[in-house]
Amino acid sequence: MNVQENYSLKNHNTFGVEVSAKYFAQAGNFDELKNALEFAKARDLKTLFLGGGSNVLFTENFDGLVIQLNLKGISEKILNENQVLVTAKAGENWHEFVQYCLRKNYGGLENLSLIPGNVGTSPMQNIGAYGTEIKDTFVNCTVLSLETLQTEVFDAEKCDFGYRDSIFKKEGKGKYVILEVSFKLTTNNHVIKTEYGAIKTELEKMGIENPGIQDVSEAVIHIRQSKLPDPKVTGNAGSFFKNPTIPLEQFEKLKMKFPDIPGYPNGNAVKVPAGWLIEQCGWKGKQIGNVASHELQALVIVNKTGLASGKEIYDFSSLIIGSVKERFGIELEREVNII
Ligand SMILES: Cc1cc2nc3c(=O)[nH]c(=O)nc-3n(C[C@H](O)[C@H](O)[C@H](O)COP(=O)(O)OP(=O)(O)OC[C@H]3O[C@@H](n4cnc5c(N)ncnc54)[C@H](O)[C@@H]3O)c2cc1C
């Protein structure tokens, strides 16, 4: 294991923020991971695990050891004539893993095409898009407890998945490293989900009447490419905020004042699109210094000039939170992990 000192993380976070780690190591296998943890323990260093760096905002240099997990490998086990269990190691790139499954005609992950990041991070916030979340196909994940250094298997119940949420962002925060994740996918009789978002319209544009999983994936890729900024071109971490869920009563009061407010009821609560709230406050496309809200999707904050510091991006997000709170009385929560 090679530990580098005062290592630049600019290429390891999709915001492209220039920060450094006191120490940086890549773990390509379990032994290297254990060695890295021992290195940190011996020097009493705090540790941070990093996948693709597409859901983090570094607001300062990291005064500890950053460990990038590069564990690779995919294995499969046929469960019955219609289902397969597919297990991928943490360091597999998420989109490449989805494409691998599609090539094998394994269905269930196609709506999650083109989400940046790694497989090992996918349970962290129960990644989701276009009407699908990983919890829909998730079976379990193997984790390493940082307290006991023993591996444990967490099923979906133990992961306590919620909307962009899991145990790993709550009481399990900083306590576990996810080593591999298993999904139960279909091998035939695929369930095609085209109801959400613009998938149907996109498939029509593509001239496809009876879509298969590959078609859905292609439609999702087209939509995402047309709407979301490519982090390789403009630094960003996707949606910066979660869509807030508010009590029905509060939503009804807001509806009287703002008749156009969109909302998706769920029992006694209503989910409100954060992008709409931000846009109404005049933030869409607005730039302050090096930071801006994306001109096509207000929910995405971008490092517009490529020169923004993490602190600048964080302060920009605080201004948005303040505006939305003042106008609508709703407190937006950041989806991105602030480091
Ligand atoms: C353009 C763009 C679009 C996006 N679209 C979506 C979307 O549609 N849906 C969605 O849900 N997300 C989306 N995201 C957010 C992001 O892609 C996901 O959250 C992804 O799962 C992050 O993976 P990562 O490997 O890059 O995580 P990182 O940013 O490397 O890490 C995120 C957090 O997880 C921790 N971590 C990383 N690996 C491990 C591990 N193995 N074990 C324990 N902790 C770990 C890190 O310490 C950090 O706190 C988008 C991001 C971008 C840039």
Over residues 261-309, the pLDDT tens digits come to: 999 998 899 999 999 999 999 999 999 999 999 999 999 999 999 999 9
Other beta carbons within 10 Å of 230: 11
CA of 12 to the centre of ligand 1 (A): 12
Pairwise CA distance, residues 301 & 278, whole Å: 11
Alpha-carbon span 213 to 200, nearest angstrom: 13
SS3 state of residue 30: helix
User: Please, which pLDDT band fits residue 33 given cuts at 50, 70 and 90?
Assistant: very high
Confidence of residue 227 (pLDDT cuts 50, 70, 90): confident
Would the pLDDT of 198 be above 90?
A: no
Q: How far is the CA of 94 from the centre of ligand 1 (A)?
A: 10
Confidence band of 160 (pLDDT split at 50, 70, 90): very high
Residue percentage of the chain with pLDDT more than 70 = 100
Are the C-beta atoms of residues 185 and 109 closer than 8 Å to each other? Answer: yes
CATH 3.30.465.10 in the chain: give the residue spans. 74-227
Portions of the chain given CATH number 3.30.43.10: 3-69
The answer, yes or no, to whether any atom of ligand 1 lies below 6 A from the CB of 116, is yes
pLDDT at residue 186 tops 80: yes
Query: Quick check: is 164 catalytic?
Result: yes
Domain with CATH 3.90.78.10 in the chain: 235-338
> What is the CATH code for 235-338?
3.90.78.10
* 335 labelled catalytic: yes
Residue ID of nearest Cα to ligand 1 atom 50: 238
Token pair, residue 74, equals 């995919």
| CB of residue 14 inside a 6 A radius of ligand 1 | yes
Hunting for tokens 């969109």 — which residue is that? 262
Identify the sign of the CA torsion 234, 100, 131, 183. Answer: negative
Ligand 1 atom with the smallest distance to the CA of 127 is 11
3-69, what's its fold? Answer: 3.30.43
Q: Say yes or no: CB of residue 118 within 6 Å of ligand 1.
A: yes
DSSP state of 242: P
Residue 308: exposed, middle, or buried by beta-carbon count in 10 A (0-12, 13-18, 19+)?
Answer: buried
Distance 53 CA to ligand 1 centre (A): 6
Measured from the Cα of 56, ligand 1's closest atom is: 29
Q: DSSP per residue over 252-311, as a string? A: HHHHHH-TT---EEETTEEE--HHHHHHHTT-TT-EETTEEE-SS-TTEEEESSS---HH
Q: What integer pLDDT is reported at residue 197 of this predicted model?
A: 67
Distance from C-alpha of 39 to C-alpha of 230, rounded to nearest angstrom: 36
Among 2.40.30.10, 3.30.465.10, 1.10.1060.10, 1.10.10.10, what is the CATH number of 74-227? 3.30.465.10
Among candidate residues 239, 293, 309, 317, the one labeled active-site is 239
Q: How confident is the model at residue 201 (pLDDT cuts 50, 70, 90)?
A: very high
Ligand 1 atom nearest to CA at 118: 25
81 is catalytic: no
Task: Give the mean pLDDT of the chain.
Answer: 96
Ligand 1 atom closest to residue 124's alpha carbon, by position in its atom list: 34
Q: What pLDDT is recorded for position 267?
A: 86
